[in-house]
Amino acid sequence: MFQVCKTFSFDAAHALRGYNGNCERMHGHRWEVAVCLEGPQVNELGILVDFRAIKAAVQAVTADYDHNVLNDVPPFDAINPSTEQIARTIYLALRDQVAAAADQARVAYVQVWESPTSWAKYWE
């Protein structure tokens, strides 16, 4: 099995609705995102998935997040923009794109850090 991963970042604010504490107030993070794809074999060039393709897919999924208030961006206008939900949302969006574009690869997981010591990971 092969696995390829690429990291990204974006800056955005959020507030956790209904949270009893500081995180209920608007605050910002530099969100770090790791996207990992896996598959059983590489192509004739020895590549599972081109890193440029991963970059383009993630940038398309997160384009509305950067320098924005996540609470105002779908689906976070309806669900809490927690680190867990951000990881899940990115995973689900990429899962469908990767399935359509890559014969042998699938999204293994998406990991999102809101700080250097706090992160969430989503996979299926």
- What are the average pLDDT values for consecutive 10-residue runs of the chain, which has 124 residues? 96 97 96 97 92 93 97 98 98 85 86 97 98
pLDDT at 54: 93
Domain segments of the chain as ranges: 2-122
Handedness of CA 63, 67, 72, 77 (dihedral sign): positive
User: What is the CATH number assigned to the segment(s) 2-122?
Assistant: 3.30.479.10
pLDDT at 98: 78
pLDDT at 101: 65
pLDDT at 68: 98
CA pair distance 41, 98, nearest whole angstrom: 15
Are the C-beta atoms of 119 and 111 separated by less than 8 Å?
yes
Q: Tens digits of per-residue pLDDT, 84-99?
A: 999 999 999 999 887 6
Joined together, the tokens standing for residue 77 give 């206008």
If DSSP codes are grouped into helix, strand and coil, which group holds residue 23?
Answer: helix
CA pair distance 124, 109, nearest whole angstrom: 8
pLDDT at 100: 62
Give the contacts of 64 (CB within 8 A, at least 6 positions apart): 73
CA pair distance 55, 34, nearest whole angstrom: 11
pTM: 0.94
pLDDT at 104: 82
